[in-house]
Amino acid sequence: MDFTDQRLSYEKGVLDQQSIPTSPFELLGAWMTEAIEQKVQEPYAMSLATCGADLKPSVRIVLLREITETGVVFYTNYDSAKGQDISENPNAEVLFFWHELERQIRISGRIAKIDADKSAAYFQKRPHDSQVGAWVSEPQSGEVANREVMEQTFEQLQAEYADGISVPTPAFWGGYEITVEKIEFWQGRASRMHDRIVYSKDDNNNWQTKRLLP
């Protein structure tokens, strides 16, 4: 398959370095709000890239669940392949791509587990079947003989934790926060003259911005 003749001209917006807010979190919140209002499908879906001790990068989609004052939070299985990568190398990056708005956001930083009580509080808010499903994925990314084995385990757990019975939060499951060290906002423009503004902190821990070539 050859896609070399496929072309799109990005012309839906601009990103002016002179008018952006001082804090990248303000712009992140504004762009996220606009994506939701424009009904972008799952705008909080982000590609998470990690790299463990084997120096082989891995990337997968996870769902943003909170924007804090210092970073972004998602939840997963700590025993997963991504969890292993994170335990070996705390540096990670996430990418949002919203085709409908012709925008990307890249967030780089260090990643760490959040407080266990906060993870438990979020777990208990999840739908009952999703809570049960989390127990099936132990370990997540582990090999399973076939789907029937998964479904049998799921049915057994559903019977054990029938509706009305609280599903305990697994010790192997919880949240991670990526503390932002650098964040780039990308706005598609015509003729591939895209706007790219990157925020990073100076020696005094203040946010600075730079324009990057497209």
- The span from the CA of 98 to the CA of 19, in Å, is 22
Residue 157: DSSP 8-state = H
Asked if residue 52 lies in contact with residue 88, where contact means CB atoms within 8 angstroms, the answer is yes
Helix (H) or strand (E) holding 208: strand 207-211
Active-site positions read: 192
Residue 22: DSSP 8-state = S
- The span from the CA of 52 to the CA of 81, in Å, is 9
Nearest to 103 by CA among 42, 192, 35: 35
Q: Which position has the token pair 């591939």?
A: 192
